[in-house]
Chain A
Amino acid sequence: MIDDATLLDAARNGDRSSLDQLLRRHYDRIYAVCRRITGNDADAADAAQEAMIAIVRALAKFDGRSTFSTWVYRIATNASLDELRRRRRRPLTGLDATGHGRDDAGDSGPVEHADPDSGVRIDAIGDRALLDRALAGLAEDFRVPVVLRDVGDLDYAEIAAVLDVPVGTVKSRIARGRAALAVALGRDFGNQSAPPRRPTNDPLDANDHDDQPPMTRQP
């Protein structure tokens, strides 16, 4: 497999197919990062597309000090955060602030299943909805480093560079964010208490201080 650096050099020299290959290689992960940060498919698609265009336009500026993937996820993260800011300015219609419909699968009561596999499928949809809600309830300062670590596969130093915060802060935020997510998803820890929560109506009401609770609302 041709490595990123080779494809990048070729793309910079005008090789369209190399660029195509490079973009395809990273798109799915970029989309996943955007999806987990923005919390819904539509915003993720927009953010991912913005990121792809930004990557192409900034190819000449990439100086190679970080890996290409780190650079790409930095762009994707910024595009996602921009998308969140735009979402905050948009009026809400039939969706709540997380972009979910009000009739989420997670809210539905017991149902009878004619299809024997439908229960499994509904459970899977319910699990995804629950994860979306748990992530949406996590303050941005905690959600983004967790996503960059677990989805973007960046190490702590790379995340620190992307977010422009110290490595120790990244470590702390990831730990607290994960713990909060695990508790919100009902995955109990035996050795620690649940992280504190601060119920609000705005899941995007991020806080900038590590001594603040990571959860902004009940999932």
Chain B
Amino acid sequence: MTDNLDPTSAASAAFDGEANADERALVEASDAFRDEMSIYGTLRDDLRDVVVPAAARESAISAALAAFDLDRVPPAEITPSSATAAPVVSLAARRQRQYGWLGAAAAAVVAVLVVGVIARSGGEDQKTSLQAPSAQGTIPSDSAAKSAPAIEIAPVAGGAAADTAAETAATTAASTAETTAESTADTTSGTLFSAETAATDSLSDRFATAPRLDTEDQLVAFASGLTTPITPAPVALTADSDTATAASTAATADTSAGSTATTAAAAPSRNDATGCTAVGLEPAGPAVYQGRPVYVVRDGAGGRIIVIDAETCTITTVIPFPTP
């Protein structure tokens, strides 16, 4: 019977404590096998010697806990509109759009210039809101492409870039619509928000004057000062607002907690003011929390405060919001 033993399997199995009697006898009879087991021991130590990045650990645990929190929101607290819109953008989708931010950034420039041109020529229409393309989700590519050339973009973008601006705008509008569908469909895995930076200013600029918060108490106090629990309306750009304040400007109507907090009707798939994708929970209230640029969201329906890392667009903190 010993003749049928595979010597390699015998040493390996003996090392794992999974050898049968014959294999153990074979291994114990040979110094070479014991040496081999010693090599396996070193190999196991080497394989286990993995440096775990602390940032990756915290990010993964935060994402998992956020998924836990979202899954535990009682159905009664979710309106039909927000239930269908709650997105999870998968890592795969995020990767596919890894380089899409260039186009998105160019489109954001175009959108800002459109607002500027209209503001200058609109007279009394100066305060009229323009819905961002993402809010409608079904804007034909043609319309976006046609509107772009009318903008005085050449001096800004210059040369070939100006030639491609219209195409970029159309692409962005289409990709935004795609994002909505994709996000709604893929609810099984991934990061809660995608890190597509569409804003024209850099994060450091945007957060230069944001309040510095270090404790949960400060966070609660800051969240209490937000004008609306959740941005209920589609992202809108007004003539006298910049992209950084667009979301809060759009959410002006009703600030009574609970009544409009979870409506999120026709909510966009991406908040271009923040660059984060989040249907139903519009990031707002930029701040620097524990040294990180974040968006603070007051979830009136869930009775909680959600902190979203502005760079990664992932939820980093969720704490209860004290009921007054």
The answer to whether the Cβ of A57 comes within 8 Å of any Cβ in the partner chain is: yes
Interface of B is mostly: helix
Known: A20-B61, A90-B95. A57 touches B43 (CB 8 A): no
CB-CB under 8 A from A27, the residues of chain B are: 52, 57, 60-61
CB-CB under 8 A from A128, the residues of chain B are: 49
Given the complex of chains A and B, what is the CA–CA distance between A172 and B68 in angstroms? 40
* Contact (Cβ within 8 A) A86 B92: yes
* Contact (Cβ within 8 A) B8 A31: no
* Contact (Cβ within 8 A) B16 A24: no
* Contact (Cβ within 8 A) A176 B42: no
Looking at the assembled complex, report how far the CB atom of A156 sits from the nearest CB atom of chain B, in whole angstroms. 5
Select which of A16, A23, A86 is within 8 A of B69 by beta carbon.
A16
* Contact (Cβ within 8 A) B71 A171: no
Stretch in B31-39, B101-109, B125-133 with 4+ CB within 8 Å of A = B31-39
Interface size on A, residues (CB 8 A): 53
Interface size class of chain B, counting residues whose CB lies under 8 Å from the partner chain: 35 or more
The answer to whether the Cβ of B59 comes within 8 Å of any Cβ in the partner chain is: yes
* Contact (Cβ within 8 A) B71 A48: no
* Contact (Cβ within 8 A) B60 A174: no
| 0 or 1 for each of B80-97: is its CB under 8 Å from A? (1 = yes) | 000000000001100100
* Contact (Cβ within 8 A) A50 B190: yes
Stretch in A1-9, A61-69, A103-111, A178-186 with 4+ CB within 8 Å of B = A178-186
* Contact (Cβ within 8 A) B61 A151: no
Looking at the assembled complex, report how far the CB atom of B210 sits from the nearest CB atom of chain A, in whole angstroms. 27
Given the complex of chains A and B, what is the CA–CA distance between A52 and B65 in angstroms? 9
Looking at the assembled complex, report how far the CB atom of B45 sits from the nearest CB atom of chain A, in whole angstroms. 9
The answer to whether the Cβ of B174 comes within 8 Å of any Cβ in the partner chain is: no
The answer to whether the Cβ of B6 comes within 8 Å of any Cβ in the partner chain is: yes
The answer to whether the Cβ of A127 comes within 8 Å of any Cβ in the partner chain is: yes
The answer to whether the Cβ of B21 comes within 8 Å of any Cβ in the partner chain is: no
Question: For residue B60, which residue of chain A has the nearest CB?
Answer: A49
Given the complex of chains A and B, what is the CA–CA distance between A48 and B189 in angstroms? 12
Apart from A54-B188, A151-B47, list 13 A-B contacts with CB within 8 A.
Answer: A16-B65, A16-B68, A16-B69, A24-B57, A32-B50, A52-B61, A52-B63, A151-B50, A156-B16, A156-B18, A171-B13, A181-B43, A187-B42
